[in-house]
Amino acid sequence: MEKKDKFILDSLNMHGSFFHRKCIAEIAKINTFGVVEKEFPVQVNDEKTKIDIIAARDAQVLNYYVIECKKVHEDFKCWVFFPDGKLDERDVSDINIIGKSPIIIDSIFHTPLNTKKLGRYVFNHELDTKLKFCYDGYEIKLDYAKENKLNKANLTKTRKNNIENACNQVLLGTRGYSKFKVKKLPPYIKRNFFFFPLIITTAKLFTIETTSENIDLIKGETIKDSEVAVISVPWLIYNYKPNFLLTYRDVPFHDEVLSCINEAIEFTMSVFIINSEHLEEFFKEIQFMPY
């Protein structure tokens, strides 16, 4: 291969262009799914973006999957998240419904008057008990020296911007696509439609779990490493507050929400983050039927 061609190939590999094509091919192979759009342009107010992939079930187009493909830099192939939950009895900052973390997604509803309405739907997902609901995420840069050993002379670096940028983009795309669909649907369609934002990434996914008692308030560090659990997960849910306003405040609920006192639910949307090795497994195992 000529040097020029190799340069082009390396640039496309680094950008994730081939990864995008591979994700399309893998999703299209799954029996119950089909890819319905790629590089789909949307606009919300003055903000514009393009959705990498929109997938839907073949049999019934009730659930749309709005997908961002994220190939990460080799040095930042570790994404770490903190699960949401109470840190103290009077900590009510966690988003929960009847003691469980919810999934919060854009939806199109058909009222008894056959009018279409865009809102957000909240429901508890019980099909996968291992599913982690998280509220904070970091990219970790692992600096390896010779013999594949971590170079502690150069401490690992963390950052959040790539994760947050990907979340903002896929949520903006989801909001834009759902608004586009609500305008296109004829009024006599009485079914409800649900939109699931997904990030498929080459990053390895981990959750970090420990108690607040294991954190030193003076040093701001953990006390006993043995009491910290670093758990590898194939996918997770990131209940994220996007950087654009969620103008639709009406949030329908599947269950009665007597114990949901956190108002942040009005500003939160759920993003599904999947490690690319588990892409097929995710689509086969996770069957979203929120009604």
Any idea where the domains of the chain sit in the sequence?
A: 3-285
Which pLDDT score, from 0 to 100, does residue 65 have?
94
pTM for this prediction:
0.89
Which pLDDT score, from 0 to 100, does residue 197 have?
96
Which pLDDT score, from 0 to 100, does residue 96 have?
74
Cβ pair 131, 47 in contact under 8 A: no
- CA 24 – CA 30 distance, rounded (Å): 11
Which pLDDT score, from 0 to 100, does residue 144 have?
62
pLDDT along the chain (291 residues), means of 10: 68 72 88 86 87 80 89 82 82 74 86 77 68 89 64 69 92 93 80 91 92 86 88 94 76 58 81 94 73 49
The pairing of strands 269-275 and 116-123 is: unpaired
| Long-range contacts of the stretch 258-266 (C-beta < 8 A, 24+) | 258/98, 259/96, 259/97, 259/98, 259/99, 260/95, 260/96, 260/97, 260/98, 260/102, 261/92, 262/92, 262/93, 262/94, 262/95, 262/96, 264/93, 264/95, 265/95, 265/102, 265/104, 265/122
- CA 198 – CA 240 distance, rounded (Å): 12
Cβ pair 156, 138 in contact under 8 A: no
* Positive or negative torsion for Cα 277, 280, 285, 291: positive
- CA 166 – CA 184 distance, rounded (Å): 27
